Amino acid sequence: MSIRALDHVNIRAPADDIARLKEFYCDVIGLSDGWRPAFRSRGHWLYAGDHPLVHLVEAEIGHGGGAQAGVDHVSFRSEGLDAFIDRLRDHGVHFQLSQVPTLGLRQILVRDPIGIGVEITAEPPGR
């Protein structure tokens, strides 16, 4: 397994802030709102060219009544996940394995020591 590039940054925020963030990243930064897989969550994928670089996701309401906002995770694009899974197990790190709807990409999500999500994304085997 080797990391090839930063894949995307995922920003989670309350619904009202998502609209403002989308406007900022599109109108000011120059990204464009584009296609997003049919996740259960609501949000937007903002593209630089043909790559969805910033993912905006509506935050759920927390126990205190408010939605938490901030960088939810950073995603790295990799080649293969099996060696990375072995490495996580060797280090006793808990992880979650998932698949992106429609795209078939496989993803591993872990938390760094201060709680920021780190996602490793790879094409499925044989692609």
pTM of the predicted model as reported, rounded to 2 decimal places: 0.67
Structural domain boundaries enclosing 72: 2-61+68-122
Does the pLDDT of residue 39 top 60, yes or no?
A: yes
> What pLDDT sits at residue 114?
59
pLDDT in tens, 50-100: 999 899 999 876 555 555 677 777 888 887 788 888 888 988 888 999 888
Whether 127 is covered by a domain: the verdict is no
Whether 40 is covered by a domain: the verdict is yes
> What pLDDT sits at residue 79?
78
pLDDT in tens, 89-107: 988 888 999 888 888 888 8
The contacts of residue 100 (CB under 8 Å, 6+ apart) are: 37, 106, 107, 121
Q: What is the total count of domains within the chain?
A: 1
Within 13 Å, how many C-alpha atoms sit on residue 63's CB side?
0
Give the mean model confidence (pLDDT) for residues 29-44: 90
Whether 44 is covered by a domain: the verdict is yes
Whether 90 is covered by a domain: the verdict is yes
Whether 81 is covered by a domain: the verdict is yes
Does the pLDDT of residue 12 top 80, yes or no?
A: yes
* Domain containing residue 24: CATH number: 3.10.180.10
Based on its alpha-carbon atoms, the radius of gyration of the chain, rounded to whole angstroms, reads 15
* b/e sequence 97-107, b meaning 16+ C-beta within 10 Å: eeeeeeeebbb
